[in-house]
C-alpha cells in the first residue's frame, strides 16, 4: 500500500472511531438526564431526586339521594367538611320531594345513587342494598333501633338509622289552657276539642292539613289507620303482615276497619269545618307557619318538624304541646310513633362502596350526630351521643306512656306514602262516595303494587 493510500485509510478509520464515540456519548447523555442530578447556576451538583412513579389518586364522586327536606342544608355543610378531610372524594346530594317514586326511575334507568335515605322491602328482596350487618358502628346503636333496622326475612341489616323519632299531635298549649282542654285519647275527645276551638276562637283553624304535600296525608294513614293494625299485632307481627301482605290481618277493605274508620273520621272533620278550607292546596311550610304564628291550634306531624318550628319562632318553644294520636276505632288505644329516623343505605350497585362507608362513618362521628340531633330536635340512636335535642323531652316521654308505641309501615315500593297521600287528596276532593269505597280502593292499590313485585 503506497503512503497516500495508507494516509486515506488511516483517516477513514479515525473517522469511524470518532463517529462511534459520538454515538456512545449521546447515549450516555440520555441516560444521565434520567439519573444524574441537575446543577445549580454555579455549576454545583444538586441532590438527585427520583421522578414519581405512583399515579395520582383518582377522585371519586358519591351520589347521595334523599327525600328528607329538613336536613338538606345541614348535610351540605357536613359534606363540605367531609370533602375538606377527604379531598379525593366528592359527595353530590340530590333531594326529591317524591323520593320514593323517583328512586324507582333511578333503579330502572341505571342512575343509581351510592347512598340513599329511601328504603323499601321490595328493594331489599331484589338485592338493591349492601349488607351492613358486619359494620363496627352497630355496637354503638340502641338495640331497639337495631331491631327495627333488621330485615325480618334475612335477619340482616341493610340500613342504619342515626336517630329515634316520634310522631303524634302537636298542639298549642296556651290555647288548651285558656279553653280548659285536655289531651284527647279517644275520637270523641279529639273532635270535641276541635269543636270547642272553632266555637270559642272562630279566627283560628282547629286542625291544619298540608294536603298539597301528599306525604303529610300519607302519614295520617300510616299512623292513624295502620295504627289499628299495629297495636293489635305488635311491632314484629305487624311488620310481617305488611311485608307479606297478610290480608287476613290487614283487612284494609273491612267495614269498621282501620282504613274505613280513618276515611270516615277525616270526612267528619271536613264536614264540620274543623280543618282548614285550603287543605288540598296548603303546603308543609304553610302548616308550620300557621302553627307558630298562632293561627292553628293543632296538627299531625313528627319530631322532625320541631327544628323548623323553633327556627320560625324561637319564642314559641314553651307553647308547643305533644300528645298521641287519638284512637279512631272504638275499643282501641291511642298510638304514638316511636321508630327509627334518618335512615341510610348503600346501594349494591355502588361502584364506590368503601368510599360510601367512609362518608357514613364521618356522619356517624359523635360530634356530627350531636349536631344533627340538636338541629333536627330528634333524640340520637347512638349510645355515645349526648345531645340536648329539644324542649319536648318530657312531653314525648309522656306520650310514649299514654299511647301504644308503633313503628313505620313497610309499604310496597310501588305504593309509597306519597301515593297513599294522593288517595287521601282524592277522598277530600269527593272522589269516593263513602269511606268504605275509599277502603276498597286503598286495598286494590296496595295489592296491585305488592303483586307487581311479589306476584
Question: pLDDT of 100-132, one tens digit each?
Answer: 999 999 999 999 999 999 999 999 999 999 999
User: Quick check: is 19 in a domain?
Assistant: no
Per residue in 243-293, pLDDT (tens digit) is 999 999 999 999 999 999 999 999 999 999 999 999 999 999 999 999 999
**C-alpha span between 219 and 225 (Å, rounded):** 9
User: Quick check: is 195 in a domain?
Assistant: yes
329 has pLDDT over 50? yes
Element (H, E) at 171: strand 160-172
**C-alpha span between 145 and 406 (Å, rounded):** 13
Residues 174, 306 within the same domain: yes
Residues 144, 229 within the same domain: no
435 has pLDDT over 60? yes
Residue 440: phi, psi to the nearest 5? -65, -40
Q: What is the pLDDT of residue 56?
A: 59
Beta bridge partners of 380: 163
162 has pLDDT over 60? yes
Indicate if the alpha-carbon torsion angle 394, 399, 404, 408 is positive or negative.
negative
Q: What is the pLDDT of residue 390?
A: 83
- For the chain, give the percent of residues with pLDDT over 70: 87
- For the chain, give the percent of residues with pLDDT over 90: 83
Among the listed residues 409, 426, 313, the one whose alpha carbon sits nearest the alpha carbon of residue 119: 409
Q: Which three cell numbers stand for residue 359?
A: 362518608
Q: Which three cell numbers stand for residue 185?
A: 285519647
- Residue 87 belongs to domain with CATH number: 3.40.190.10
Q: Which three cell numbers stand for residue 397?
A: 316521654
Residues 172, 281 within the same domain: yes
- Residue 154 lies in domain: 60-164+341-376
**C-alpha span between 32 and 115 (Å, rounded):** 52
DSSP H helical ranges for 315-403: 353-363, 366-376, 393-402
Task: Report the half-sphere exposure of 285 (CA within 13 A, side-chain side).
Answer: 2
Per residue in 344-358, pLDDT (tens digit) is 999 999 999 999 999
Q: What is the pLDDT of residue 49?
A: 45
Residues 352, 442 within the same domain: no
For the chain, how many structural domains are there in total?
A: 2
User: Quick check: is 323 in a domain?
Assistant: yes
Amino acid at each position: 500500500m503506497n503512503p497516500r493510500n495508507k494516509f486515506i485509510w488511516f483517516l477513514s478509520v479515525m473517522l469511524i472511531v470518532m463517529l462511534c464515540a459520538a454515538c456512545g456519548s449521546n447515549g450516555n447523555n440520555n441516560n444521565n438526564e434520567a439519573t444524574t442530578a441537575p446543577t445549580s447556576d454555579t455549576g454545583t451538583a444538586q441532590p438527585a431526586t427520583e421522578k414519581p412513579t405512583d399515579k395520582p389518586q383518582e377522585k371519586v364522586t358519591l351520589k347521595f339521594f334523599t327525600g328528607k327536606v329538613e336536613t338538606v342544608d345541614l348535610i351540605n355543610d357536613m359534606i363540605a367538611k367531609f370533602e375538606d378531610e377527604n379531598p379525593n372524594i366528592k359527595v353530590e346530594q340530590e333531594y326529591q320531594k317524591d323520593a320514593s317514586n323517583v328512586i324507582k326511575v333511578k333503579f330502572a334507568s341505571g342512575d343509581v345513587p351510592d347512598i340513599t335515605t329511601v328504603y323499601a322491602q321490595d328493594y331489599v328482596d331484589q338485592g338493591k342494598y349492601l349488607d351492613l350487618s358486619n359494620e363496627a358502628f352497630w355496637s354503638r346503636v340502641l338495640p331497639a333501633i337495631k331491631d327495627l333496622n333488621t330485615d325480618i326475612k334475612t335477619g340482616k341489616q341493610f340500613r342504619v338509622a342515626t336517630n329515634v323519632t316520634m310522631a303524634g299531635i302537636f298542639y298549642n298549649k296556651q290555647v288548651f289552657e285558656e279553653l280548659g282542654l285536655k289531651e284527647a285519647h279517644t275520637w270523641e275527645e279529639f273532635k270535641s276539642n276541635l269543636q270547642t276551638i272553632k266555637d270559642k276562637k272562630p279566627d283560628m283553624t282547629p286542625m291544619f292539613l298540608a294536603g298539597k304535600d301528599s306525604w303529610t296525608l300519607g302519614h295520617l294513614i300510616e299512623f292513624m289507620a295502620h295504627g289499628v293494625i299495629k297495636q293489635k299485632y305488635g311491632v314484629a307481627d305487624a311488620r310481617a303482615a305488611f311485608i307479606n301482605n297478610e290480608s287476613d290481618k290487614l283487612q284494609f277493605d273491612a267495614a269498621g276497619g282501620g282504613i274505613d274508620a280513618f276515611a270516615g273520621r277525616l270526612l267528619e272533620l271536613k264536614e264540620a269545618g274543623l280543618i282548614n278550607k285550603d287543605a288540598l292546596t296548603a303546603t308543609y311550610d304553610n302548616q308550620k307557619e300557621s302553627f307558630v304564628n298562632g293561627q292553628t291550634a293543632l296538627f299531625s306531624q313528627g319530631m322532625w318538624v320541631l327544628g323548623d318550628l323553633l327556627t320560625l319562632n324561637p319564642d314559641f318553644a314553651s307553647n308547643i304541646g305533644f300528645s298521641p294520636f287519638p284512637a279512631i276505632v272504638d275499643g282501641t288505644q291511642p298510638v304514638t310513633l316511636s321508630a327509627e329516623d334518618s335512615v341510610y343505605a348503600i346501594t349494591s350497585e355502588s361502584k364506590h362502596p368503601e368510599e360510601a362507608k367512609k362518608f357514613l362513618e364521618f356522619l356517624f362521628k359523635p360530634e356530627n350526630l350531636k349536631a344533627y340531633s340538636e338541629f333536627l330536635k330528634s333524640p340520637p340512636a347512638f349510645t355515645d351521643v349526648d345531645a340536648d335535642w329539644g324542649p319536648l323531652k318530657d312531653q314525648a316521654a309522656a306520650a310514649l306512656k299514654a299511647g301504644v308505641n308503633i313503628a313505620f309501615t313497610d309499604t310496597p315500593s310501588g305504593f309509597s306514602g306519597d301515593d297513599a297521600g294522593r288517595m287521601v287528596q282524592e277522598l277530600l276532593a269527593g272522589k269516593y262516595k263513602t269511606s268504605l269505597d275509599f277502603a276498597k280502593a286503598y286495598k286494590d292499590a296496595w295489592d296491585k303494587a305488592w303483586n307487581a313485585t311479589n306476584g
